[in-house]
Amino acid sequence: MTLTEFGLIDRFFSRCGARRPDTVLGVGDDAALLRVPPGMDLVATLDTLVEGVHFLPGASPEALGHKALAVSLSDIAAMGADPAWATLALTLPAPDPDWLEGFGAGFCALCRAHGVELVGGDTTRGPRALSVELKGLVPTGAALRRSGARPGDRVCVTGTLGDAGLGLLALRDGLAVGDRDGLRRRLERPEARVGAGRGLRGLANAAIDVSDGLLADLGHLLEASAVGAVVWLDRLPLSAAVRRHVQETGDWWAPLAAGDDYELCFTLPQGRRGELEALGGSLGCPLTPVGEITREPGLRVLRPDGGEYRPSRRGYEHFGPDA
């Protein structure tokens, strides 16, 4: 891009987000200089959103700015860390000032809300893609990992599952659903569970964020921990709209496999239920036990009658993200 175009982009991202005392040098030099306080570990994550793959062409730039950061915040939350610094790489077909203004507004507002400072970035011309690298801080040794689950742990999730997936079906395929606006909000403006991740430090044995669907992400956690799990279908926390959809279709794709919810899935050691309830109350966010870690490997989903639920192939073909 030309110098003028770079200047244009700078305009929307100068002084973006919080001002942090541990930023020695932010935007404007060859690289940022960041001070990790003694006794803290640095946590780093990178996510890319590509137009047509991760978001629909024509998506609101303000919502995209929000989501580009939210998906990385969710990974930081899943580590039990506090977000601190972001860098942003934008690939754009052209530097459209309206689009940039909207994107910058959504991105920088969410940065401010979480005490994150934008400390650098890069812009290139090409098909629209948004990459955010986010760094966070966690007390040394206290990070939550996927590998800590133990047999007998309760499998728990934050919030509700399936709203973003059902929102995608409503938006992309015109599926008739209840609370279309609420589902659309869950899809386009996810709220990363940063407070929950922080509160789960020293409480949860293992954690992961639900970006690819409960079954897939819990599967990663089980693999890392070398354990198995059962999930109880009737315990899954569902919004009224998702509950109605599941009841009408008998298809559990949205809450089990759709992804994009950015809730946390974590495992709670036996005897810590009281602390979980206290944490849920202080967060104002439901923390729901949905299953149990088993010594036997594999992931089984059980119906209320104790029978195993097996997702129908037809359901996946019809409703799957690749349909």
Contact set with Mg ion (CB under 5 A): 75, 209
Residue 209 CB, nearest approach to Mg ion (Å)? 4
* CB-nearer residue toward Mg ion: 66 or 245: 66
Residue 208 CB, nearest approach to Mg ion (Å)? 6
Contact indicator for 215, 133 with CB cutoff of 8 Å? no
Residue 67 CB, nearest approach to Mg ion (Å)? 14
Contact indicator for 156, 268 with CB cutoff of 8 Å? yes
Burial 267-284 (b: 16+ CB within 10 A, else e): bbbeeeeeebeebbeeee
Contact indicator for 43, 166 with CB cutoff of 8 Å? no
Contact indicator for 296, 159 with CB cutoff of 8 Å? no
* CB-nearer residue toward Mg ion: 197 or 291: 197
Residue 216 CB, nearest approach to Mg ion (Å)? 11
* CB-nearer residue toward Mg ion: 163 or 209: 209
Helices (H) and strands (E) in the chain, counts: 11, 12
- DSSP character string of 33-71: EE-PPTTEEEEEEEEEEEBTTTB-TT--HHHHHHHHHHH
Residue 220 CB, nearest approach to Mg ion (Å)? 8
Please provide the distance, in angstroms rounded to a whole number, between the alpha carbons at the two ends of the chain: 37
Would you call 177 helix, strand, or coil by DSSP?
Answer: coil
* CB-nearer residue toward Mg ion: 212 or 251: 212
Residue 157 CB, nearest approach to Mg ion (Å)? 14
* CB-nearer residue toward Mg ion: 188 or 209: 209
* CB-nearer residue toward Mg ion: 9 or 132: 132
Q: How far apart are CA 114 and CA 254, in angstroms?
A: 29
Residue 21 burial (C-beta neighbours within 10 Å; 0-12, 13-18, 19+):
exposed
Residue 120 CB, nearest approach to Mg ion (Å)? 23
* CB-nearer residue toward Mg ion: 47 or 117: 47
